[in-house]
Structure 1
């Protein structure tokens, strides 16, 4: 399907000639500069046949709950006794046992049957024996031997893993013993005494006792397989083999794990730093828990009663040690928020401790992140006690707000049954750097298990930051804590939990027209929309995480223009892509702006792509309680009968702190594959859209979901293919056209919302 989504000449003050090329949808999807009209394409009426799919629901086999126990010696699956064991054995002990070697065909057939059903019943054994020319008893013994063989292999693997973990724990224990034997008093320099034990050391010893209990349990498990108990020993932490780390780029998101000028110079901590990092993490965990429990006078309610503000003087009195005094010129931003979300508490912990999941779930807040070192992976196969040294860059969806880079340690701990905590604290003192502009004091969340798969999350966000680079439009929003604060983290988590729940939902109503009921099709379409949203955020913020080059002298001071070359990325069309973004204020509530932009009936009032045509929703997937949270497939029926129709994938999402309307032209053939459950990673996308935030005034702190009287901060962004040849040179005419496209869209939105003078 030809991709050329053209810009009508009559709507543009100035257009280029000669450099823009129109390319096919088969290789590229997105806005395309070139002729100022829609080109003919093959998106003919009726080609999107499989919009209403039949639901492919195949129930899995219910496995038997217990394996058969027997004491016979394990034999190879390729040979078997001709006879039986137990009561069926030959009573003549001196008779030589005869063996029957199965044919290759018999073995292959039984192997294939074993994969589907390792516990055949009598009827299945008789049927299989009749097909293969074997007695049912022979079939029964073969399956017994096969199960024993698989069980032995599994136990051998577990045994090897436990031996390896034990050796690592033993080595770590010896290292800590040596460190403790040479420890000295920090005050006098002499040897330490029990009476001089610090609070931190006491805390570590309590942690040591708990870890020793975990090792005892592991030893008991290991003794079952090894044949003898493992040696018990004290330890302060339990590092195991680190999980594999991937510092590569994700398709369609650019260099997500790349580093900016500051973070690029940061490396993994040295061995000498690790004891200090552990001590800092333990102290930060205690501070986080106390800050989540204490109310007044540490936390004071704001005048509008919507947020909690930190009393800085009380904080210094309560936590005198901390991570040092606030740097000169830095401002404190501290907030606390609590919510109940529809996700299991263990799943939330896994999201926070897995950098890939964390980036995906919080893509609107985190522009890049990487794990530099894993000091501990936790105990007994979970994240209890896990320690990770990380870097991250945090963003607001606007080019007018600088990103915040941070170098910190993340510590996860289980405090009680069903209660976990994850804390971050900066490690800037280990790597003093004059360019540090953001320091994270103990921040994170407490996660408590609730009935029916819900969790209660209490989030603390506490940073000290130099915010002098923030544009005046966003000063109020940032200083109030709504831009980077706890409320935004919790609201994003709540919305993403609802989205994930919708992916897993099976009770989809079939009566509504356009509802996609195919489970595989729903997952593929939501995955494609997720990638579209991540790509949009990559091009709209001021992040340094992605392979964009910022252009200067573009002719419009209020528009940020970037460019990138895409060659081998199947998720983007090949060629030169421009990303243009601008932010401005509207004297209209965020909810009204969101409803206007997502409504297909009002789309032709601002969307140049629609070219005055009628926009119709063909299919949608609801992914939240609010009707505004959905993924839609739109068709634009052009008013010009000589022009063919086109399809647009759109996601609209809304929470109390931010809302997005993101869309991209899509290939009709590729969308048929996606709707049938095919892989969406190879669908080329160039997303455009809007990010809507409250302006931070008192009247709008109720959130976007409320129809307050506060104003809105609207960011408009486009990603446009200007040339399908990656080696082509970018022309100034292309940049001018993009600036004009932005300006025209902004003017249309202001006119439609009756705020032309804003």
Structure 2
């Protein structure tokens, strides 16, 4: 319950703290800093009363002496005795003079820092006062005096609305189950009959008024049936079955990776990718591991490539769920190791056997994810080749039955000289494609969405990124803002977290509860809220995420170049207020010029945004591209560039995922249509709508973000089409 008196007491204590702090800081002034030399202070302290009473002319340090000590102070604020002796000889000062100069300088810097903190605290205090007034007004006008509930829909939080709907549904379900209770041997525990009023909800199943209209739009949601949450650790009776499945899957994967025609046939004349001859597969492997599930479509592809990474490091990535989901963050929305049945031989992963769960995604909230429960087996063959094989454990899981199944899939890794490895990737799955929107079907059916080509292209790009992040020199484009390798690595680490966070929040993962809102000129805008309190790397408060996907008849390369370049940013970025965007630093992340991390400054006419910095990473390969960015506080960015740990820098990433709409081609009339070489673009924003985690989200906030994302889509359409015709 909000308590206004508590706020008043809090503000009074803050005021007392501010006044005390300012009085103490007044005792240390900048203009007192060079008043006396160290020798004079010492002489005053040790001399007689008569000596202290004499008027003495104090000799200030020369400008040259001060300048030299200032330069030394930046590198070493605490010089030792040897360093002070060397400075005193070079500058013609006594060692004690040097010592006291550095002491006074440190005191001055501390005082300046405290003044800065005091100013920030004052600003926070004013913000709290404003919030206090706002809360008082809300407290007085937004609740019913009889029942305490909100008097208007716009003042009701998403969670409250959902709880009312969910409670009504549960009451109906409980009444129906109570009718069956006399027939059951074991009654349901009483704790199942009640939903706590503060129970967390994962759904935004809301009846949302269509802003300004009388009609009502009920949001369609993903996440109502989370298969991965129902998975438990395998029983002792299941483990021998899992081992047998893993061994069989390893044998099948190895044979499929090494076989040629007629088992595999070329996908097209321009690619090294091959697709499976399904009838030949059923003959060769006698139906494979387990029968094919009814109603599921088979997707199978194989691709070989050479990547710049040591084979041992590759194996480590595949056998670590966290590393694996980070490297493939655009494909793996979440992953976990359910149980380690075997850790492998000491010192390597040979023989490692992990039971895992994972969710695979296309970066769009419109395309349903694929959830799998599987075993991963790692083995080194006699010829030195490593293999990592996956196979589903669907027969060992309770309902609900997953809508995708992994037949033996994975990769063979062959060691090559100079740190390179040859990868042969096999992706073989059976899926229920129900729910895939027509706009994305050419992409999914062609295998570009989940096939081997996308896995290998992503791995190749990430290997290049890792190699460039380990560079020991600083390029010319980076020297303007950073001066150390540590600062470069820290900036790359922050950008990696930004991209991973963006990819984790843009798809249709079942951990999200997307609510669809009507949108003109594009598919539905999906929104979801998240409350952040003490999460490292995220600002506290209520965050609203909004995303939508749309198609344009322009190639992905043209769209990617338009969105990533700072010169064209003012044409679509509404939040930059059409200000001039200047690139301050550019860190290359691979062979392609578009793979880079940039630091941008927005020079806006608005004084409040004149120092706005934007961290941006752009990356592209043959299967898709990303442009991800986030506003960064200037002070925080300076900390990062100095080489400090960036994990606690708060980020809310937004950006774009750009995918081909399917295999390139034309419809025979020379007119582009979906599946003919256009682009599928997903735009996603994350906005902090309130800095108080317990605040309620109003419909007005949702409407504002909805309008923002639709305006951005319209601007991109107009600008890209205009650029194409020019």
TM over 0.5: yes
Sort the Cα spacing of 1:500 and 1:642 in 2 relative to 1 into closer, same or farther, 3 A.
closer
What SS does the aligned partner of 2:689 have? strand
State the match for 2:392 in structure 1: 426
Q: CA deviation at 1:697?
A: 3.0
Sort the Cα spacing of 1:463 and 1:380 in 2 relative to 1 into closer, same or farther, 3 A.
same
- Is the 1:440–1:462 Cα contact (8 Å) retained in structure 2? yes
Sort the Cα spacing of 1:296 and 1:672 in 2 relative to 1 into closer, same or farther, 3 A.
same
Q: CA deviation at 1:457?
A: 0.5
- Is the 2:661–2:676 Cα contact (8 Å) retained in structure 1? no
Deviates more, 1:514-523 or 1:471-480: 514-523
Structure 2 Cα separation of the partners of residues 355 and 720 of structure 1: 29
Q: Say yes or no: does 1:272 pair with 2:214.
A: no
State the match for 2:178 in structure 1: none
Structure 1 Cα separation of the partners of residues 432 and 517 of structure 2: 27
Q: Say yes or no: does 1:726 pair with 2:726.
A: no
Structure 1 Cα separation of the partners of residues 359 and 545 of structure 2: 20
Q: Say yes or no: does 1:502 pair with 2:468.
A: yes
Alignment of 1:639-678 (within 5 A): 639-640=605-606, 644-678=610-644
Structure 2 Cα separation of the partners of residues 346 and 757 of structure 1: 45
Structure 2 Cα separation of the partners of residues 688 and 522 of structure 1: 22
Q: Say yes or no: does 1:261 pair with 2:226.
A: yes
Q: CA deviation at 1:431?
A: 2.0
What SS does the aligned partner of 1:754 have? helix
Q: CA deviation at 1:360?
A: 0.9
State the match for 1:326 in structure 2: 292
What SS does the aligned partner of 1:333 have? strand
State the match for 2:719 in structure 1: 752
Alignment of 1:39-438 (within 5 A): 261-306=226-271, 307-416=273-382, 418-431=384-397, 433-438=399-404
What SS does the aligned partner of 2:657 have? strand
Sort the Cα spacing of 1:260 and 1:678 in 2 relative to 1 into closer, same or farther, 3 A.
farther
Q: CA deviation at 1:504?
A: 1.0
Structure 2 Cα separation of the partners of residues 331 and 491 of structure 1: 24
Once the two structures are superposed, residues 144-178 of structure 1 have per-residue CA deviations (whole angstroms, 9 ceiling, x without a partner) of: xxxxxxxxxxxxxxxxxxxxxxxxxxxxxxxxxxx
State the match for 1:714 in structure 2: 681
Q: CA deviation at 1:445?
A: 0.3
Structure 1 Cα separation of the partners of residues 250 and 331 of structure 2: 23
Structure 2 Cα separation of the partners of residues 375 and 354 of structure 1: 14
What SS does the aligned partner of 2:546 have? strand
State the match for 2:514 in structure 1: 550
Q: CA deviation at 1:633?
A: 0.5
Choose which of 447, 457, 464 in structure 1 pairs with 2:430: 464
Structure 1 Cα separation of the partners of residues 655 and 282 of structure 2: 44
Structure 1 Cα separation of the partners of residues 383 and 356 of structure 2: 27
Structure 1 Cα separation of the partners of residues 245 and 554 of structure 2: 46
Q: CA deviation at 1:699?
A: 3.0
- Is the 1:510–1:517 Cα contact (8 Å) retained in structure 2? no
Choose which of 688, 705, 709 in structure 1 pairs with 2:654: 688
State the match for 2:604 in structure 1: 638
Sort the Cα spacing of 1:463 and 1:517 in 2 relative to 1 into closer, same or farther, 3 A.
farther
- Is the 2:516–2:524 Cα contact (8 Å) retained in structure 1? no
- Is the 1:588–1:709 Cα contact (8 Å) retained in structure 2? no
Once the two structures are superposed, residues 280-330 of structure 1 have per-residue CA deviations (whole angstroms, 9 ceiling, x without a partner) of: 111100110111111110011124442311100000001115222211110
Q: CA deviation at 1:472?
A: 0.7
Deviates more, 1:376-385 or 1:317-326: 317-326
Q: CA deviation at 1:554?
A: 6.4
Gaps of 5+ in 1: 1-257, 701-707
- Is the 1:693–1:714 Cα contact (8 Å) retained in structure 2? yes
Q: CA deviation at 1:433?
A: 3.1
Q: CA deviation at 1:510?
A: 4.2
Choose which of 393, 409, 416 in structure 2 pairs with 1:443: 409
State the match for 1:235 in structure 2: none
- Is the 1:492–1:655 Cα contact (8 Å) retained in structure 2? yes
Q: Say yes or no: does 1:579 pair with 2:572.
A: no
State the match for 2:559 in structure 1: 593
What SS does the aligned partner of 1:699 have? coil
Q: CA deviation at 1:276?
A: 1.1
Sort the Cα spacing of 1:263 and 1:509 in 2 relative to 1 into closer, same or farther, 3 A.
closer
Normalising by structure 2, report the TM-score: 0.66
What SS does the aligned partner of 1:270 have? coil
- Is the 1:554–1:561 Cα contact (8 Å) retained in structure 2? no
- Is the 1:304–1:698 Cα contact (8 Å) retained in structure 2? no
Sort the Cα spacing of 1:673 and 1:605 in 2 relative to 1 into closer, same or farther, 3 A.
same
Q: Say yes or no: does 1:566 pair with 2:565.
A: no
Sort the Cα spacing of 1:625 and 1:515 in 2 relative to 1 into closer, same or farther, 3 A.
farther
- Is the 1:554–1:736 Cα contact (8 Å) retained in structure 2? no
Structure 2 Cα separation of the partners of residues 365 and 555 of structure 1: 27
Q: Which has the higher contact order (CA 8 A, sep 6+)?
A: 1
- Is the 2:611–2:634 Cα contact (8 Å) retained in structure 1? no
Gaps of 5+ in 2: 1-222, 667-674
What SS does the aligned partner of 1:429 have? helix
- Is the 1:378–1:387 Cα contact (8 Å) retained in structure 2? yes
Once the two structures are superposed, residues 13-44 of structure 1 have per-residue CA deviations (whole angstroms, 9 ceiling, x without a partner) of: xxxxxxxxxxxxxxxxxxxxxxxxxxxxxxxx
- Is the 2:654–2:686 Cα contact (8 Å) retained in structure 1? yes
- Is the 2:518–2:524 Cα contact (8 Å) retained in structure 1? no
Q: CA deviation at 1:549?
A: 3.8
Structure 2 Cα separation of the partners of residues 358 and 390 of structure 1: 12
- Is the 2:331–2:361 Cα contact (8 Å) retained in structure 1? yes
Corresponding residue pairs, total: 495
What SS does the aligned partner of 1:686 have? coil
- Is the 1:664–1:685 Cα contact (8 Å) retained in structure 2? yes
Once the two structures are superposed, residues 534-581 of structure 1 have per-residue CA deviations (whole angstroms, 9 ceiling, x without a partner) of: 111122100123xx4433556776111111100111311111101000
Q: CA RMSD in A?
A: 2.5
Once the two structures are superposed, residues 379-402 of structure 1 have per-residue CA deviations (whole angstroms, 9 ceiling, x without a partner) of: 132110010011100011001110
- Is the 2:334–2:360 Cα contact (8 Å) retained in structure 1? yes
State the match for 1:139 in structure 2: none
Sort the Cα spacing of 1:697 and 1:610 in 2 relative to 1 into closer, same or farther, 3 A.
same
